[in-house]
């Protein structure tokens, strides 16, 4: 089911700006992939995913191929979540947990995106399962497996640090006894800390590196909840089921079964709570950043549903959840277009003349723009980059450098016609970039104005 839902219409939506970044890095050699990952505003983040995507891209670099890797990651997470949930909350709840992951609009959405969040889901479930096995088995080999998977998670996304906090709580919950603290667990967590030292720059990077995350508010929290659930209706249902799961875990915490339930719901609650607390001083609460908690959330929902009284209530709740998930999937497929870079380049290519200049604003938007220009022979042969200045397929933020917009448009030789392409909106006329762009276009005549999802295009004829 997860594979089928991930493959459905996989290539129908064009790449958005972050996927453009993934596609650009996937074209690098393995050494340059690492350099590129460390040159971003969040140094070292996602480097492991980029390396895997580079290897995968040897098959092809179309939207469908690039995203297919994420489909496989989400599909792989379904059985892992089932096995993890079966060991923590029981087989009936595990079936529901696996179903939630497979049918979730949240998981399906990121299975159709060339970004790391599908791998985050898989590693979150796999590392938690490895931890349970290590605690039960206690062998060095099992602890080494947990160390490896947890370290991999940190190099896929820094939100894995919140999962580590939940797993540390799990060690405390599941290993109480005369031999506490367990020596092998202490060594494993210390080894994870040592292995993550190269990421120190990521964890201490300034708040401006995630300035696109909105500040913490009731509205932003509800918006994130709706993204995770898939709709407002699903948010109410899933939050209610998860709340029941937390109540059941807290009401009967004693014994091996009770401690396992506590660990299951902690895997969802602690990462979410940690992101919320950090967002008070440094906003980080974003829907896709909550993927690290999704296995725990799914297990809490499964536990909550199987804990309902009376069989007919449980069946009604489960059927209602499945119907709401299906409706949420339809909304994702039909009502969530990605940014229209593919459509914008196609339209520009239709009207482009040899020697037309192109200004792309902000400059990082060149990544998805270049992806489609390189695949259009007429566009790549006809269009001349004015800003940023590197040639098509060469530009990469922080590695190719380049002068700011103000300098470029002041010194550039004016072309006869120029395409101004902006992500969402052109720079305001009273801003620094807006004033310099206005000076460059002074006396020009607008020949064409086009609008696509998240992309604005103007064709100006210069005097």
Choice among 11-15, 23-27, 372-376, 408-412 with the minimum mean pLDDT: 408-412
pLDDT for residue 210: 61
Q: At what angle do helices 117-137 and 160-174 cross, to 10 degrees?
A: 20
Q: Check if the beta carbon of residue 405 is closer than 8 Å to that of residue 436.
A: yes
CA distance 409 to 206: 30
Q: State the pLDDT at residue 237.
A: 93
- If you average pLDDT over residues 269-297, what whole number do you get? 93
| DSSP sequence for 285-332 | --TGGGGGGHHHHHHHHHHHHHTSSSHHHHHHHHHHHHHHHHHHHHHH
Which token pair is 48? 């492991």
Tens digit of pLDDT for each residue in 344-403?
Answer: 999 999 999 999 999 999 989 999 999 999 999 999 999 999 988 889 988 887 665 566
Choice among 20-24, 362-366, 436-440 with the minimum mean pLDDT = 436-440
Q: Is the pLDDT of residue 286 over 80?
A: yes
Query: Does residue 92 register a pLDDT over 60?
Result: yes
Beta bridge partners of 460: 418, 446
Taking residues 5-15, report their average pLDDT. 94
CA-closest candidate to residue 308, choices 239, 261, 244: 244
Please report, for residues 34, 162, 163, 240, the alpha-carbon distance to residue 158 in angstroms, rounded to integers and kept in the order given. Answer: 16, 8, 10, 29
Q: State the average pLDDT over residues 87-115.
A: 96
- Model pLDDT for residues 172-188, shown as the tens digit of each residue: 998 877 667 788 999 99
pLDDT score of 207:
43
Residue range 202-232, pLDDT digits in tens = 666 554 446 677 788 899 999 999 999 988 8
Q: What percent of the chain lies above the pLDDT cut of 90?
A: 72
Among 43-47, 49-53, 184-188, 369-373, the range scoring the smallest mean pLDDT is 43-47
Contact 201/47 with Cβ under 8 angstroms? no
Range 313-332 burial, b when 16+ CB lie within 10 A, else e? ebeebbeebeebbeebbeeb
296-310, 341-355, 370-384, 437-451: lowest mean pLDDT where?
437-451
Judge whether 394 and 455 are in contact, CB under 8 Å.
no
The arithmetic mean of pLDDT across residues 34-38, rounded, is 88
Determine the longest span between alpha carbons in the chain, in angstroms.
84
pLDDT at position 311 over 60:
yes
Specify the range with the lowest mean pLDDT, choosing from 193-202, 216-225, 406-415.
Answer: 406-415
Range of 40-44, 296-300, 438-442 with top mean pLDDT: 296-300
Residue 419: which pLDDT band, with cuts at 50, 70 and 90? very high
Distance CA 289, CA 278 (A): 13
| For the chain, percent of residues with pLDDT exceeding 70 | 93
| Cis-peptide into 388, omega within 30 deg | yes
Find the range with the poorest average confidence among 95-99, 176-180, 323-327: 176-180
DSSP assignment of 116-182: THHHHHHHHHHHHHHHHHHHHH--HHHHHHHHHHHHHHHHH-TTHHHHHHHHHHHHHHHT-STTPSP
Convert 201-218 to b/e letters by CB count within 10 Å (16 or more is b): ebeebeeeebeebeebee
User: 336: pLDDT confidence band, cut at 50, 70 and 90?
Assistant: confident
What's the pLDDT at 389? 86
Task: Identify the pLDDT of residue 406.
Answer: 65
């Amino acid at each position: 089911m997860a594979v089928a839902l991930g493959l459905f219409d996989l290539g129908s939506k064009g790449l958005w700006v972050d996927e453009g970044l993934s596609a650009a890095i996937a074209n690098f050699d393995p050494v340059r992939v690492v350099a590129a990952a460390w040159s971003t505003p969040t140094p070292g983040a996602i480097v492991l995913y980029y390396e895997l995507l580079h290897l995968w891209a040897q098959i092809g670099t179309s939207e469908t191929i690039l995203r297919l890797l994420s489909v496989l990651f989400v599909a792989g997470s379904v059985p892992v979540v089932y096995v993890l949930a079966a060991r923590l909350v029981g087989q009936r709840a595990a079936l529901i947990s696996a179903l939630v992951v497979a049918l979730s609009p949240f998981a399906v959405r990121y299975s159709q995106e060339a970004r790391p969040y599908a791998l985050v889901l898989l590693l979150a479930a796999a590392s938690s399962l490895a931890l349970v096995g290590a605690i039960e088995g206690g062998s060095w080999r099992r602890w080494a497996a947990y160390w490896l998977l947890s370290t991999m998670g940190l190099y896929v996304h820094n939100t894995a640090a919140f999962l580590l906090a939940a797993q540390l709580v799990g060690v405390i919950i599941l290993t109480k006894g005369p031999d506490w603290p367990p020596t092998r667990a202490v060594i494993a967590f210390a080894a994870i800390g040592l292995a993550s030292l190269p990421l120190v720059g990521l964890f201490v990077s300034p708040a401006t590196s995630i300035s696109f995350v909105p500040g913490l508010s009731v509205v932003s929290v509800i918006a994130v909840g709706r993204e995770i659930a898939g709709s407002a209706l699903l948010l109410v249902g899933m939050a209610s089921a998860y709340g029941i799961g937390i109540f059941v875990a807290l009401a009967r915490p004693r014994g091996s079964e009770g401690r396992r339930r506590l660990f299951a719901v902690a895997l969802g609650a602690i990462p979410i709570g940690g992101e919320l607390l950090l967002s008070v001083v440094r906003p980080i609460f974003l829907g896709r950043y909550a993927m690290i908690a999704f296995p725990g959330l799914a297990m809490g929902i499964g536990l909550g549903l199987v804990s309902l009284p009376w069989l007919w209530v449980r069946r009604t709740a489960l059927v209602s959840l499945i119907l709401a998930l299906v409706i949420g999937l339809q909304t994702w497929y039909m009502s969530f277009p990605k940014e229209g870079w593919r459509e914008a380049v196609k339209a520009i290519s239709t009207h482009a003349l040899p020697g037309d200049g192109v200004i792309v604003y902000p400059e990082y938007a060149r990544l998805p723009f270049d992806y489609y220009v390189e695949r259009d022979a007429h566009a790549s042969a006809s269009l001349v980059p004015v800003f940023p200045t590197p040639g098509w397929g060469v530009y990469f933020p922080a590695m190719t450098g380049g002068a700011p917009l103000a300098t470029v448009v002041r010194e550039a030789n004016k072309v006869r016609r120029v395409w101004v392409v902006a992500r969402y909106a052109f720079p305001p006329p009273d801003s620094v970039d807006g004033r310099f762009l206005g000076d460059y276009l002074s006396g020009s005549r607008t020949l064409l104005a086009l609008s696509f999802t998240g992309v604005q295009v103007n064709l100006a004829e210069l005097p």
